[in-house]
Structures are given as C-alpha cells and as structure tokens.
C-alpha cells in the first residue's frame, strides 16, 4: 500500500516569512495529492490539491509543487500570518490509478507563526 | 445542508464494552470513510466504503467493524473496546466518479473516545 512520509513534524516561522512542508510517497501510480489544514479542535479541511499531470498549482499565498520522478510534493505558504498556525496534512491515494478511492495521510506538521 | 454529522461527540467506555459511532452525510456522496487521529500519528484510515453495500479495510482495521447502512449512513463499531482505541474518530465522505473535480474529503466534527 501507499506510504506517505511528511516532514518536518513541527515548524515555527516569523510572521511574513515563508513555510515549506514536504511529503514523499511510495506508489509511482499515485495521481492525486491533496493538502488539508486542521485548526485546533476543528475538523481537517482541504486547502489545495494537485493532480499528477501538473507540476505546480497556486492559490493566493499557498502553492503545491509535485516532482513525480522523485515522488515528492511540497506545500509552500508565503507571507505567513498568525492565522496560518495549524496542523497541515498531506495525503496520497492507495488504490492504483484511482483519484477517489482510499486516501492515506502523512503524520502532520504543526506550523506555528509568531507575530 | 448539515454536511457530515457524527455522534456521539464524546464517549467514555470501560475496557471490554462495545459501542457504535454513527455517521451520516447529506451531500449524496458515494464514498465514506472512518479515520482515527492520535497525537503524532496523523489520520489513519480504519475502513472505507466506496459505495452502498461495499466496505474495505484501511491501515488499522483490527478491533473495528463497519456497516454501510445506506448511501447516507456509515457506522463504526467497537465490539470489545481496548485502551489502545482511545482516540479521536473522524468520519468523512466524498463524491466519486466523473462528477468530482477535486475529490475533496468532507469531515465530520470528530468523536472523542476514551477507553479506561
């Protein structure tokens, strides 16, 4: 099955700096890579996703890049703000070639943005 | 639209007791999921249901059973609770097939279970 590794487990940055979180996956057939944000005491929510036919996707201050050869993908947050403080999870599908089957998550990154 | 609703929100059990976590979604989604969340371990998939009438194991299925009662409801049962099952449980759903562009998972609010 899929093995999703996420680093770092904790990340502290100053407000206005950039934050980068990286994930690696094991199944070369994986084709869909979402990122979820979970604020303290809340449910996880999708913030951005990328499919394997695209190398980069941006949405305002967040972006995701994908390197299929190396089997890793990264979340980039620019101009960080205190409200970006949360746990971020990457994920990848387990079922070969399926975008919408089982999804395995990384262990999460606790991002803290200091004012 | 309530989205994904799960009950109960909190539950304390003694070792060996049984209980069922209920989950319902009103978004007409085909796929439903049960995850558990433990500190430092992320979200781990317990069971998954691709559609009504089908279920499949995830990463950590031992000690759990599931029932996809109909398209809306997907329940998780602990037959004989153990302290290792102390966790926060999340139900989630998403659509499947060509109708979806993103495959976004919609989560419930979570159920905090403590087994003494």
Report the C-alpha gap between B96 and A66 in whole angstroms.
23
Among A6, A89, A100, the residue with its CB nearest the CB of B103 is A100
- B35 touches B89 (CB < 8 A): yes
Taking one residue from A and the other from B, the number of pairs with CB-CB distance under 8 angstroms is 64
- B106 touches B27 (CB < 8 A): yes
Q: How confident is the model at residue A98 (pLDDT cuts 50, 70, 90)?
A: low
- A2 touches A51 (CB < 8 A): no
Tracing tokens 């329940």 back to the chain, one arrives at: B75
Residues 6+ apart with CB under 8 A from A9: A107, A108, A109, A110, B40
pLDDT at B96: 66
B59–A46 C-beta distance less than 8 A: no
- B70 touches B82 (CB < 8 A): no
A34–B33 C-beta distance less than 8 A: no
A46–B96 C-beta distance less than 8 A: no
Q: What is the pLDDT along chain B (116 residues), one digit of tens a residue?
A: 789 999 999 999 999 999 999 999 999 998 999 999 998 889 999 999 988 889 999 999 999 999 998 999 999 999 999 999 999 999 999 976 554 445 889 999 999 999 99
- A34 touches B103 (CB < 8 A): yes
> Which residues in chain B have their CB less than 8 angstroms from residue A99's CB?
100, 103
A102–B45 C-beta distance less than 8 A: yes
For residue range A46-73, list pLDDT tens digits in order. Answer: 999 998 888 899 999 999 999 999 999 9
Report the C-alpha gap between A18 and A96 in whole angstroms.
33
Tracing tokens 């101009």 back to the chain, one arrives at: A79
Report the C-alpha gap between A31 and A71 in whole angstroms.
11
Q: Which tokens in the block code for residue B105?
A: 């998972």
Q: How confident is the model at residue A1 (pLDDT cuts 50, 70, 90)?
A: low
DSSP letter at B59?
S
pLDDT at A31: 84
- CA-nearest of B48, B103, B107 to A41 is B107
Among B42, B97, B108, the residue with its CB nearest the CB of A105 is B42
B20 half-sphere exposure, CB direction, 13 A CA radius: 10
B102–A46 C-beta distance less than 8 A: yes
């Amino acid at each position: 099955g899929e093995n999703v590794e996420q680093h770092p487990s904790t990340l502290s940055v100053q407000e206005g700096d950039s934050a980068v979180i990286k994930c690696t996956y094991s199944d070369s057939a994986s084709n869909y890579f979402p990122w979820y944000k979970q604020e303290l005491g809340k449910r996880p929510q999708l913030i951005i996703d990328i499919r394997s036919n695209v190398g980069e996707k941006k949405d305002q201050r967040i972006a995701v890049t994908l390197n299929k050869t190396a089997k890793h993908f990264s979340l980039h947050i620019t101009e960080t703000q205190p409200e970006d403080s949360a746990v971020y999870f990457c994920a990848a599908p387990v079922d070969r070639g399926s975008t919408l089957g089982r999804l395995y998550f990384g262990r999460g990154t606790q991002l803290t943005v200091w004012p | 639209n309530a989205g994904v609703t799960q009950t109960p929100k909190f539950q304390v059990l003694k070792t060996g007791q049984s209980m069922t976590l209920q989950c319902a979604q009103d978004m007409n989604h085909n796929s439903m999921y049960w995850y558990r969340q433990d500190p430092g371990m992320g979200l781990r998939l317990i069971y998954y249901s691709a559609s009504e009438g089908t279920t499949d194991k995830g990463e950590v299925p031992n000690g759990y059973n599931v029932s996809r009662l109909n398209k809306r409801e997907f329940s998780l049962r602990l037959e004989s609770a153990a302290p290792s099952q102390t966790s926060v449980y999340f139900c989630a759903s998403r659509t499947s097939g060509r109708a979806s562009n993103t495959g976004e998972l919609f989560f419930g609010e979570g159920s905090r279970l403590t087994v003494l």
